[in-house]
Each structure stands twice: as C-alpha cells, then as structure tokens.
Structure 1
Amino acid sequence: MGQFFTDDIDALLKSGHGDYGRLSRIKADFEAKKLVTIEDRRYVDGLIARYLQPAAQTEKSERIVKIPEKRIVPPPPTPASVPEIKYQKTVVEKPIEKMYGKKKLRNIVISVASVIFAVLIISVVAMNQDNIISMGPSTTKTLETDQTSYTLGDIISISGSTESTITKLTISDPDAQEIWTEIVKVKADGKFSTLVIAGGNGWEKAGKYTVTASANGKTEETVFDFSPNESP
C-alpha cells in the first residue's frame, strides 16, 4: 500500500483534485509514521475512486485490441458440367458421279472438247479463205443515186466506180423498158458520174425505176422511186 498510496496522493495533488493542504498533511504523516487514520484513508480513497480510477479504466479499455471476427468463406460452387457437343459429318453426294459415273463423265468431256476443236478448225479455214479472196484483184464496183425518190423535173445524180475505162448506164421504167441510156467515161481513179433530168418520153409511170451499170460483161443495179407529178 505504501508506495501506491503516496503515488495516488501525488496524482491527486498534480491534478488539483481534493484539498491540497489536507492531502499534503496525509502524505507527510504517512511517510513519517507509515500510518493514516481511517477518516483520512476514506477521504483519499473517495478522491481516487472519483478522479483517478475512471481515467485508469478508460486507459485500460483503450488498450483492448479488438480481434476481428474470422469470416467463414463458403467454398466456390461446383461448375456445371458442359454437355459434350457431337458433330455429325454431312456427306454430300456428287450428283454427276452418281448419275453417270466417272467413265461416262470422261466420255462427255472428250465429246465436248472434240466439238469445240472442230468449230475452231472450221473458223480458221473460213478466215483463211476470206484472206485469200481479199488478196486477189478487186473487181467490185458501186452504183448509187443521190436520192431514193424523185418527181417530175428533178435532176438525178448517178455515180459509181469500176475497173473499166468506160461503163454503160441505163434507166428502166417499172415495166423494165429502157427509157434512157448513156456511155460514161471512167476517171483515172475508177470513178464515174453523170446527171439525168427526170422527165420526157418514158417517164409517165409512177413506181420504181432501175439504174443499171454495165462494164466488162458485169452489171450492177440500184433503184429509186419516181412520181410523174411535179413537186409543189
């Protein structure tokens, strides 16, 4: 009790609680005689209980460390089993091989190739013949009029080309009767031309008239429409 008792009195004196003079006297008497009266003892204990013990209990309670509760973690759920996916192979039948078979298919391919080859040969031969003809001497000539229809009094322009030096031109009516003829000289470039007035004897009928060019035993024709009525 001795040391703790004086320590408590010092704490009371330091904190200013209680009667300073009485506490000092009680401390001095206790240190000198090691005795204290019951009344003084109760006085000191009352001050200690009132001022010192609550602080001590508070300090003690602050030192208590809270132990966290241990949580129980449930085990993870068992994963659901994934059903196994089974893939079914799809068999695609080859319709050509099923219907004809490999041998028949090969025969068809050979036949088609033969036809294509024959067509190519014919085309090549035809092209060669065209080239041979075009490379020979040209005997073609042209014959035309400046219009396709005329009326009484119109001037008809006839032109063409030939390899001959002269050509004979004739005009026939719808009944194939010659109503006009002329011998025309051919120019150096092989072209010829002349003019005819639509009118006179033989131009009384309406219809198609034929122009004919004759040279070196060959003829060429062209036609035009004629009306004996004068144009307004």
Structure 2
Amino acid sequence: MNDLLDDVKALLEKDFGDDRILKQIRRACENNEVISNFERNYVRKLAEKHLGRKPDTPAPVEKPVVPDVVLPETESAQNTPYAQKTQTIKTEPPRVSSASSKNSKLMIGIGGVALVVIIAIAASFSGITNVTPDVVKNPTDTVTESLVIQTDFTSYNNKDIISINGVSDTGGSVNLSIENQKGELVWAEQLSLKSDGRYSTLAIAGGPGWESSGTYTIKVDNGAETKSSTFSFTA
C-alpha cells in the first residue's frame, strides 16, 4: 500500500496520467479503502513507463534432470579387473518395413470408411439429418456490428474505475451515459471517434445517484442508433 501511495504521489507531482483518477486512488490509500486491481494496474503501468519501475518477472523454473538407468554389477564383471562399473541402457526405435507400413495405411483407410457408415446409420435411426459439427467462431474475427459498447467487468463496487470501450461505423463522435436502477442519469460524456471508429474512456462508480445497489445501464448513441449494456453495482 505504501509503495502504491508513493508511486501515485510521484505521478501527480510530475503530472503523469489522469489527475482525477490518481487523486481518487491517493485518497483511497490514505483512508485505507479497497483499491481495485484495475487501479493498481493503472498506477503500475504509469510507474514502469515514467518512473523507471521494473516489471515483476516470475522466477525461472528449473528443468528436472532425468538420471541414466544403471544396472548392478554382474558376478563375471566383478571378477574381471577391467570390468565397467556401470552400464547405460540404450534403446533403438523398431524398424518398420515398407510392407507393414502399407498394410497399416490400408487398415486405417478401411476403419475410416467403416466409421462413416456407422455414423450415417445412427443418424438415420435417430432422425438426425445434419451430423456436421457447428463451426466454432474465431475470437479474433472482426466485429461486424455497426455500433458496439462494452465494459471491462460485469460488476463494480463503490469508487471502482469503469473502463468503457467500443466501436461505431459513423464518423464524428458518440454520446455515452449511465443510468441507475431508477432510470436516473448518473454520468454522461461525449467522445470523439478515432480513425478506426473506436472509442474508450474511464468513469468512476460513485457520486450523486450512486447511493443504491442494483443493475445500472450504460448507453451509447452515434446519431444513427443506440446500443446499451448493463452491469451490477454494489454501493
């Protein structure tokens, strides 16, 4: 906690980062309040970039050493003056003839045909008309929606930092807002879109209108359409 407070004070003194967020974290440190992982990571990244803090590196993992297999001395070896004391077992991979390799490939091919026939018969008895598995979407596929909004978490506590980001296929700017469970506006901001249509910002879960726990709704409006998302808040 002391290291975190020292980094926050140094960043504020040198005017690095967002003053509003850093002052919020400094007040939480001084009052021994709960500090979220997002706030800690935010300060740590700024300290590594501007204050010369070294990132934490995990300790190297030693690889296990596999000992050689040693056979005990035989009776004849004990009676021989120049007998070796240990023997190391070495194995060679079995040789596969070309004829057996061809036979193996033939058996694999026959087994594959038999499996297809079994699946087709089972599908006809069970009434399944499509045995093709669903195609799993690649998580890195490009988002094709015209307007997207999302947050870094689905639940927040009082004074947590909410990271908001999304994309819009329109130019100019978008309007963001957060409403509490009563439909009252508790936060609003207008953001300019980047060249690729993306936007992002940070909001603090606290202040007027945040007195009650419940489900809060965050909305984005680009002038052509409006999208919304919800998250739970604990006061």
Sort the TM-score into its range (normalised by shorter chain): 0.3 to 0.5
- Structure 1 or 2: larger helix share? 1
Bigger Rg, structure 1 or 2: 1
Give the structure-2-normalised TM-score: 0.38
